[in-house]
Chain A
Amino acid sequence: MSIMRTLLTTAVSVGLSAGIASADGHAKELTIAIVNNGHMINMQKVAEAYTEETGVKLNWVSLEEGVLREQVTSDTATGGGQYDIINIGMQEAPIWGAAGWIEPLNFGEAYDVDDMLPAMRNGLSHEGQLYAAPFYGESSMVMYRKDLTDAAGVTIADNDSWDNIKKAAAAMHDPDNGVYGACLRGKPGWGDNMAFITTMVNSFGGAWFDADFKPTLDSDEWKAAINFYVDLLGNYGPPGSEGNSFNEILALYNEGKCGMWIDATIAASFLEVDGVAYAQSPNAGNPVGANWLWAWAMAVPAGSPNAEESKAFIEWATSKEYIKAVADHPEFGWGSVPTGTRASTYAYPEFQAAAPFAAAEMAAIESAAPEATDIKPYVGVQFAAIPEFPEVGSAVAQEMAAALSGAKSVDEALEAAQAAAAAIMSEAGY
């Protein structure tokens, strides 16, 4: 009897919950799929004021990047409705916009779309139409220990040459005392080691694909860049660099073990050691530059039944007012405002005081060039905004890690990478 009773209770509760779910379906309620980014987590608290003001209830679903992409694509394919707002990155925004998977975004005058940093706006648009609004953006830069460069008698300048970077790394390198000249990403992954390596290849004059979208990993530029990378990190980097990405290097840096680190500008806000100075990423004179560009943005999936309310929320969440709301929030402050999106953020003296890296970050974002050029026939700096890129990037990433660890020579790794990339691209119909 007790089993029967339990089952009946379950059936009733199931029925009730299904009923409640459908009854709430058309209420003023938005479901937002987010990546687990610190700024997005903070937004959940700041947005309580939005709910109070507008009466719109916000449901937040935190998802891993890969699962989020999978859920959003399956949601779109099955007619939508699961999420009203989604987080997407700069890699997807132009592709999904072109495919009609996300709604175009047009905001009122008060939003001041011209205040949005041009690089961000371009990177999130397709044919001049904005498809996703950035809530956080970043570039990359050199974060070095000025006390160590001074002691070693070397300097690091903005857009320095790679040779000078290597010279400075060699001068600071002191493994007996636990200091490594350069800490760089080595962990395989298209968003891990390949983010850094791609910017390096760009600055050596290379690119992922030629004008026909055939991979060019066997080019002289790739060979020169990867040989330099393996030499720099192998000789002056910490041991086991092929396992290091953002978090691991951040821990090493804060222990005082890195002379320099070239990585996302957001890293600067987590640095706890004294004597840190910033410089623009090294460049060998190539117009593409070595500053990467990334943004996490908010978009409305096509088919969302609450598109208007969703756009209204995005307009608020990516506005100047939102940035001020974070700064004024008792739990946060100017040190926690989302950066890299609006020029006006960098104009606040309070922000400049809270973020000593502000000027370097803005300069890095402004000089990043995601547009397609003759050298690089695709949108994106540290990635190519084509659907196949994550697969190509992941395959090549493994080979680069093998070259770094010494399991393969640079030539062998590039040969294997070229073969893998060519196979994926050919299968995709390029």
Chain B
Amino acid sequence: MAIVAETSKFSRFAWPVLAWGVALIFFFPIFWMVLTSFKTDADAVKPEFLFSFTPTLENYANMTQNYDYWRFATNSVITSVSATLLTLVVGVPCAYAMAFNPSRGTKDILMWMLSTKMLPAAAVLYPMIFLAKGLGIYDTHFLVIMVLCLINLPIVIWMLFTYFKDIPKDIIEAGKMDGLNTWGEVREILIPLAWGGIASTALLAFIFCWNEAYWTVRLTTIDAATLSKLIEGNRAPEGLFFGRLSAVSTAAVGPIVVLGWFCQKQLVQGLTFGAVK
């Protein structure tokens, strides 16, 4: 008994310490980036100045004076929100069909969808550029939204599929007995029951859209350029000016970190109750 009591006392203490330790390790690069954004470029490369330095806002002033931060940020919001919504509009019915009306080919379709993620993006860069230019949609919100949607669709369908699989089929059938049509089943039963999973999937998809850099840098010029392009453009030929770059990066990830902070309850709930546990 004494051993059990000691063990539980130890684990009560040790696990939180371990969890905090791991969390701090993960958080440290972000903390470092934020700290560096308030240093001059000269101080930023001096390791002895990690904590003791005279804070400056010159990097943020440079960012807003020399670059149109708000244009990039607006484009990021438009493309990420639209692409996330479009992904859900396509993904929810798709996952619903596969979870509640599976056929013999469902597993293969799921695997095929996942396999599209294995294709190196660079392999289709030129065809994408040719297509976009041929269709006259290069550097438009429409193109970025479509590309972000297609990139995230496999992972979104997989996540939703596994959440939906946890919902007893009987409930859906009971709805059918009560006279609900398919849309009614989705709206009245599926969405309320799987809300946590859908919300966390949407949040993850939004984060992926916001952070996407390969395509958003290469398929845009001015009109649809997102924050990824702003960061990319701040890499100078003389090397990396860490102070400047950290300010731009902090301003770019800031909104998503704040959003994640507010939605962490849904995010954790969704991730722990769903299949990605």
Contacts and interface: CB of A to CB of B under 8 A. Distances in A.
Interface stretch (A11-19, A146-154, A352-360): A11-19
B41 A7 contact: no
A74 B45 contact: no
A83 B221 contact: yes
Interface in B82-133: 82, 85-86, 89, 125-126, 129-130, 133
Contact of B237 (A6, A36, A248, A254): A36
B159 interface: no
Given A17-B140, A31-B222, A7 B86 contact: yes
A255 B49 CA distance: 12
Interface in A41-59: 41, 44, 59
B45 A247 contact: yes
Contact of A6 (B85, B142, B224): B85
B110 to A, nearest CB: 25
Given A63-B232, A70-B218, A13 B141 contact: yes
B158 interface: no
A191 interface: yes
Most buried by A among B46, B217, B218, B222: B222
Interface string B203-229: 000000000000001100111110001
A250 B43 CA distance: 11
Size category of the A interface is 35 or more
Interface string B130-150: 100100111111100100000
A249 to B, nearest CB: 10
Interface of B: 41-43, 45-46, 66-67, 78, 82, 85-86, 89, 125-126, 129-130, 133, 136-142, 145, 217-218, 221-225, 229, 232-242
21 contacts: A6-B85, A7-B89, A10-B82, A13-B78, A13-B141, A14-B82, A14-B140, A14-B145, A20-B223, A21-B139, A21-B223, A36-B234, A37-B236, A37-B238, A59-B222, A64-B233, A74-B218, A82-B138, A89-B237, A247-B239, A248-B239
Interface of A: 3, 6-7, 10, 13-15, 17-18, 20-22, 31, 35-37, 41, 44, 59, 61-65, 67, 70-71, 74, 77-79, 81-83, 89, 191-192, 245-248, 250-251, 254-255, 264, 266, 296
